[in-house]
Structure formats: C-alpha cells, structure tokens
Amino acid sequence: MLVTGTSSSPSDDRTDENDPTPCVCTSQPAATPADGPLLPKEEPMTIQTKTPTLLANPPVPVQVKLAAAWTSIMFLYIYVDYFHLYKPGTVDNILAGVVFEFDISATLLTVMLASMAIPALMVMLSVTLPARVNRATNLVVASLYIPYSAFNAVGESWEWASFYGLSIGIEVLLLAFIVRSAWTWPRTPADPAGPATTGLRQDLRQ
C-alpha cells in the first residue's frame, strides 16, 4: 500500500547558512508590577564616623585671676586661724590676754583687722581699678604679704612644722602667682594719634 504525503528532511529544520535575510532581534519588554515585586537598587555602603568635640577654653581676664587668687588667700587665712585654736594652750593664752606673745589690746586687734581687711579689699579692687593702678597695687601688696605670711611661723616648734609649712607654702605660692600675673599684665599698642587728633581728623573730613 502506497502512502502519499510530504516528508520533511533534516535539512529543512536547519536554517540555511547562506540565507541573505538578516536576523531581526527584538528587545525584552520592561517588567511590570504584574511580573512581581521590583528589587531595590543597591547603594554603596557608607561608614559614619563621629567627630569628637573639644571643650572650649576661653581666655580668662587677668583681673579675674587676681581676684580669684586673693579670694583663695582669704579662705586660707580664715581656716588657718580657726584650726590654730585647736593647738594646745592657744585658748588658755587668749583667756590670759596673750596672742602670739603680744598682749591683747585695742591697738593689737585694730592692726590684725587691718592686715586682714587689705587682702579682702584686694578681691574687689582687682576687678574695679584701672589697669595701670591695678597692676601697681597688686605688685606692691602681694610683695609685702609674702614676708607677712612667713612671719606666722616665727617662734613655733618643729612639731607644728607640717601645719605651718603647708599653710604658709600655699599662701606664698598664691602671692607669687599674683605678682607674676600683675607683672605680665597684657599690653595693647597705644594709638599714637590719640582720641583728640582722631576726632579732629573726622571733623575735617566732614
């Protein structure tokens, strides 16, 4: 029995390499929400570093330094005299009318009050006096109080050397700080023309 029909040969399935017809390529269609969720675009990883902050250190005026030093000296004077009362025999001498080998009198107490009033006033004067007078006053007063502070140890025994050595040592250091601060007082260049000449120039320009 004969079967009629067409049969395909293997050569028909292959594309003819000599076919001059060019291949037409189509672009892939863009993804739509129906195709599924879109992946986010990856961004480069950044490392954040915390910048350290420094504490501000504003300059302190020399008047404030001097007033602070005199205030510290006054606290030392008060507490040294207070703790001195605990020394054996001190209260008995006061009741007997004797202080530092001196007889208690109105003159003695007036001198002692004046010696304490001067550093107390220096706290205020250091921030109110003009620069030139302020500098000279601090230099003179602090220089005079250095031997005055050392006088407190005269006639004391070595048993109390640590007490008087510590108190007098701190007082002398504070007084030396005052002398140094006043000696190195900051200076500004003066205007050679002066305020009167400057005002005259401005009037002429007008």
Query: Do residues 149 and 175 touch, judged by C-beta distance below 8 A?
Result: yes
Q: What is the DSSP letter of 103?
A: E
Q: Which residue has the tokens 């480069």?
A: 44
User: Would you state the pLDDT for residue 84?
Assistant: 87
Least confident among 2-11, 21-30, 168-177 = 2-11
Section 54-77 average pLDDT: 92
pLDDT of residue 39: 53
Q: What are phi and psi of 33, to 5 degrees?
A: -55, -25
pTM strictly above 0.75: no
164 against 20, higher pLDDT: 164
